[in-house]
Structure 1
Amino acid sequence: MRGRLALGWLTAALVVGLAPAGSLAAGPAAAAASGPGATASRAEAGPRLSVPAAALRRAVSCSGKARRGRTPVLLVHGTGTTGKETWRLGWQQSLRAEGRAVCVVDLPRFGTGDVQDNAQYVVHALRHLQGKAGDRDVSVVALSKGMTETLLALRVWPDVARQVDDVVGLAGVMDRGSRAIAAQCAADPCVPALHQVATGSAFLRAVTRHPLPRGISYTAVSTPLDRTVTPQPGANRQRGVRPVSIDAVCPGRAARFGVGHAQVLGDAVARALVRDALARRGPASPARVPRSTCGREHFPGFDEAGFTRLAAVVAARRHATTTREPRVRSWLRR
């Protein structure tokens, strides 16, 4: 019970608790993303990156040898935390134990800023991991809004999409956005990124004009008790993506263990679905998850105590908010 309460705190902190420390000027995003563009090791097929190359390099950390073992993985975090905070709770260790090299990207401002800037960090991280992997494919596991940035990176920068095998979202925000976030941002100022993933945003309208690249297996792992990405299950249904609810594996699981939006991070079935997607051809399949997984709340190695500590840290953070979403960039309007 203590662990579930801590997870609930983090859920609130990730969305409702993104309280203002001040106000951003309404309109275009800050110029922090301006400066010389980063260059890839091969000719770019997408727009030039506007985030300074040094910032992009500092945001990526990797472990393991990407040219060996199983498919290497990039981990992309959600809103309100850092990559290191999110994935050191058991994911990095678990994936490394499977024989996978792992890279983690840290989005600036705890992922609260313009998604169009954040996606460039994902692009750079993918290019970095792909360079380490040689001619091997890589995969991506993304939490919450990290799925939005991942899909944007693949849609707009085709060179990185060509070397991606699987993309798995954990309670990810898809093309329909979230009605709950839309209602929140209509009532009170929000951080820029939440305006963008609110249902009906100009950003999402522009994104949906860019089709998902083919040849990649997409899985959207969800829980019916998600009160952040809503409505469920519709919010996670998208053409070309296989939606898989944890309750499709173990009926009644979400209610039994109280698995809401943030709780997916430590959920044993969610972890098993990621393992299945990465290990086999195509997206994850509920039928292949061992029934024995249904009796476990968390996956082996999940740091519940660390999650409790992180919940307190995240809840105390304050972020600059605005009443309007960032402008849609010219490269996304095309």
Structure 2
Amino acid sequence: MQEYVAYAINYVFGITNRDLSVIAWSQGNLDTQWALKHWPSTCDVVSDFISISADFHGSRFLTAQCSRFPILPCPPSIIQQGYDANFITTLRSDGGDSAYVPTTSIYSAADEFIQPQSGPGASAFINDACGIGATNNELQVICNGRPAGSFVTHEGVLYNPVAFALAVDALINGGPGSTSQIDLTTLCGQVATEGLSLTD
């Protein structure tokens, strides 16, 4: 799958001759980070990576869910996302746990699939060993006790107002999205980004 991501990045650059931004959700973040790590040409043409609900360090919870359904085999894609799975360990080795391009990681401590997802041990936490630029944005820390930082699910990050604003900031201003560039007073008081509601 990762080679398709690398090909798509280079293909879009080839037909537009413009750097591009990549927004990924869930397992798509692993595919994108793998492509950036193993196909260096992608780093030259990606201006921003916006990561939503990532599991860069896998999840301790995903494989545990398989035991709840003993009749069905655990899908390989779930096994590969285990906290210490070979795929995850290989991705994180040799700098794969750090940003290759300016990266905005946005995630929720209440993620029902990816755990742990809080603090510097969060699976979505991306290092910045090369000083390229990375921000780690845990919604419950940013909007502690406010609606936008409440019980935000794995998919709920997609329509969270703070997550949306951080993505827009990264796209418009370049570099990783920054909470200092968005209106947290207003955004933290909302449960969904403007134009959406919880019934959408």
Identity of aligned residues (%): 29
Partner-residue secondary structure (3-state), 1:219: strand
Matched, 1:200 2:88: no
Partner-residue secondary structure (3-state), 1:207: helix
Q: Is the 8 A contact 1:272 1:289 kept in 2?
A: yes
Higher relative contact order (CA 8 A, sep 6+): 1
Within 1, Cα distance between the matches of 2:150 and 2:91?
Answer: 35
How many Å apart are 1:303 and its aligned residue? 7.4
Within 2, Cα distance between the matches of 1:214 and 1:251?
Answer: 26
How many Å apart are 1:287 and its aligned residue? 2.1
Within 1, Cα distance between the matches of 2:78 and 2:167?
Answer: 25
Within 2, Cα distance between the matches of 1:210 and 1:184?
Answer: 30
Within 2, Cα distance between the matches of 1:210 and 1:133?
Answer: 32
Partner of 1:161: 43
Within 1, Cα distance between the matches of 2:66 and 2:30?
Answer: 18
Partner of 2:105: 220
Q: Is the 8 A contact 1:247 1:254 kept in 2?
A: no
Q: Is the 8 A contact 1:249 1:289 kept in 2?
A: no
Partner of 1:294: 188
After TM superposition, the structure 1 = structure 2 runs for residues 87-106 of structure 1, keeping only pairs within 5 Å, are none
How many Å apart are 1:191 and its aligned residue? 1.9
Within 1, Cα distance between the matches of 2:77 and 2:10?
Answer: 23
Matched, 1:120 2:3: yes
Q: Which moved more, 1:119-128 or 1:183-192?
A: 183-192
Structure 1: segments with no counterpart, 5+ residues? 1-117, 308-334
Partner of 2:174: 281
Q: How well do the aligned residues superpose, as a CA RMSD in angstroms?
A: 2.3
Partner-residue secondary structure (3-state), 1:248: helix
Partner-residue secondary structure (3-state), 1:179: coil
Within 2, Cα distance between the matches of 1:137 and 1:217?
Answer: 13
Partner of 1:182: 63
Larger Rg: 1
Within 1, Cα distance between the matches of 2:21 and 2:197?
Answer: 23
How many Å apart are 1:210 and its aligned residue? 4.2
Q: Is the 8 A contact 2:144 2:150 kept in 1?
A: no
Partner of 2:34: 152
Counterpart amino acid of 2:125?
R
Partner of 2:162: 269
Q: Which moved more, 1:142-151 or 1:290-299?
A: 290-299
After TM superposition, the structure 1 = structure 2 runs for residues 32-111 of structure 1, keeping only pairs within 5 Å, are none
Counterpart amino acid of 1:168?
I
How many Å apart are 1:214 and its aligned residue? 6.3
Partner-residue secondary structure (3-state), 2:61: helix
**1:237 pairs with one of 100, 125, 129:** 125
Counterpart amino acid of 1:119?
Q
How many Å apart are 1:260 and its aligned residue? 1.4
Matched, 1:129 2:12: yes
Within 2, Cα distance between the matches of 1:170 and 1:209?
Answer: 21
Once the two structures are superposed, what CA deviation does each residue of 1:234-263 show, in whole Å capped at 9, x if it has no partner? 222232242111233322246865311111
Aligned residues: 187
Cα 1:151–1:186, aligned 2, differ >3 Å: closer, same or farther? farther
Matched, 1:211 2:98: no
